[in-house]
Amino acid sequence: MFLIILKYTQGLEKVDAHVAAHRVYLDKYYALDKFICSGAQNPREGGVILCNADCKEEVRKMIAEDPFFINQVAEYDIIEFTPSKYAAAFRPFIE
């Protein structure tokens, strides 16, 4: 499991120009059961994606498709972790 933390490197005006395309990108990986949840940080300085991928290289390949990455409006931190405790409803994402 991976936590992807996005930090905007450009002003919100430039970020907002790519939000619609970014949401299409997110939808692709939700449909593939790779993204579990995502959203903007508060305050709006970036975003967070919870990702179920096999390896960090797979995550990097997914990020390379993100319009925020392509248009250089965000940088990414990838944190790998192994869930050891979780709510019962979250079990399908772990197995």
As for how many domains the chain has, the answer is 1
Q: Taking a C-beta distance cutoff of 8 angstroms, is the pair 74, 18 a contact?
A: no
CATH number of residue 81's parent domain: 3.30.70.1060
Alpha carbon distance 62, 51 (integer Å): 10
Q: In whole numbers, what is the pLDDT of the chain averaged over residues?
A: 96
Domain region containing 77? 2-94
**Structure confidence at residue 68 (pLDDT):** 98
5 within 8 A of 48, measured Cβ to Cβ: yes
**pLDDT tens column, 1-25:** 999 999 999 999 999 999 999 999 9
